[in-house]
A and B are shown apart, each in its own frame.
Chain A
Amino acid sequence: MPEDVRAALQGVIADLKRIPDVLAVSIVRRDGLPIVHSLPKAMNPKKIAAMAAAIVGTSEMAAVEMGQGDFIQSIVDSHGGKLLATGAGEEALLVTMVKEDANMGLVLLSVDRAVQTIAQLLDGDELLQTEAQT
C-alpha cells in the first residue's frame, strides 16, 4: 500500500479516536487481516480483525438468506462495550470499539462518514492485496 494511502487511513482512524466514547479503531481486510489500527496495547489487532471478519461473515450470510439486501453493519453489544463492524468498500471493514454507554448517534454518524472515506481510499488500490500478504 502506498505510504500516502496508509497515512490517509491513519488520519481517518485518528479522527474517529477523537470521539470520547470511542476506545479503539481498526481497519481490517474482510478475510480477517489487520490493515491499520489504533488500539490500546492490551488489545491484539490480529484477534480483533479475525473476530470482526467472523461476525461480518455470519451476518452477511444471514442478510442474504433472509432476503435483507446487502450487509451494512453489525453491532455486538456486551457488558464491557460495543463492537461495531462496518463494511468499508469492497475489501475492508472498519472496526470500532466503544464504551457500553456511548452516545451511539454521534458514533454512528462518524462511522458512516469514515467508511465512505475509507472506501474511496482503498477501492481501486490493487497494491493493497500484495501488502496484506507480507
Chain B
Amino acid sequence: MTDLWGQLEAVIEELSRVSDIQAAAVVRRDGLVITHTLPDGVDPKIVAAMTAAIVGTSEMATVQLSQGRFNRALVESDEGKLISTGAGEEALLVALLYKDANLGLVLMAMERAARQVDEILRRGTGR
C-alpha cells in the first residue's frame, strides 16, 4: 500500500510541475481523497467532494443527452480553472489551474497522468 501511494504521489507531483497547474489530486469517485499536492489554504476534502459532485452531474448529463462516454469536465471561474477526468474505474484525477493556463499542454499532461494512475491502481488491486 505504501508503495502504491508513493507511486501515485510521484505521478501527481510530476503533473503539478507543469507550470500552468497550481495543484493536483487523485480522489475516489465517491468523494474521498487519495493523494494530493494542494496548497495549505485549500481543503483537500472539499476539493475531493466537489470533484466527485461535478463528475457525477456531468456523467448524468452525458448519459441523458446520449453523448457516449464521459471524458472530462472543465469548470472555469474568475480566478482559475478546475479540470476533472476519470482515472480508471475507481479514481478521478483533478487539477487546479491558473486563470490563463495553456489548456493544450495541461490536457496532454493530464491524459498521461490519468493513464498512469489507472495502471498503478490496477496493479495494486491485482486486476
A68 vs B54: C-alpha distance in the bound complex, in angstroms?
A: 15
Q: A55: which B residues are within 8 A, CB to CB?
A: 54, 57-58, 61, 73
Q: B96: which A residues are within 8 A, CB to CB?
A: 66
B84 CB → nearest A CB, Å? 9
Q: How many residues of A contact B (CB 8 A)?
A: 32
Per-residue interface assignment for chain A, residues 35 to 60, with 1 indicating a CB less than 8 Å from any chain B CB and 0 otherwise: 00000000100011001101101110
- What range describes how many residues of B lie at the interface? 20 to 34
A63 vs B64: C-alpha distance in the bound complex, in angstroms?
A: 24
The reply on A62 being an interface residue by CB < 8 A is yes
Q: B51: which A residues are within 8 A, CB to CB?
A: 62
| Inter-chain contact A83/B67, CB cutoff 8 Å | yes
A3 vs B59: C-alpha distance in the bound complex, in angstroms?
A: 36
Q: How many residue pairs, one in A and one in B, have C-beta atoms under 8 Å apart?
A: 108
The reply on B70 being an interface residue by CB < 8 A is yes
| Inter-chain contact B77/A70, CB cutoff 8 Å | yes
Q: B71: which A residues are within 8 A, CB to CB?
A: 77-79
Q: Which of B42, B50, B57, B68 is in CB contact (< 8 Å) with A79?
A: B68
The reply on B100 being an interface residue by CB < 8 A is no
| Inter-chain contact A81/B57, CB cutoff 8 Å | no
What does DSSP make chain A's interface, helix, strand, loop or mixed?
mixed
Question: Which residue of A has the minimal Cβ distance to B47?
Answer: A66
The reply on A75 being an interface residue by CB < 8 A is yes
Interface residue ranges of B29-52 to A (CB < 8 Å): 41-42, 46-47, 50-51
Question: Which residue of A has the minimal Cβ distance to B50?
Answer: A62
| Inter-chain contact A68/B73, CB cutoff 8 Å | no
Name A residues whose Cβ lies closer than 8 Å to a Cβ of B. Answer: 43, 47-48, 51-52, 54-55, 57-59, 61-63, 65-81, 83, 97
Interchain residue pairs with CB less than 8 A apart (17): A47-B64, A51-B61, A55-B54, A55-B61, A58-B54, A61-B53, A66-B50, A66-B82, A66-B96, A67-B79, A68-B82, A69-B78, A69-B80, A73-B74, A79-B67, A80-B67, A83-B62
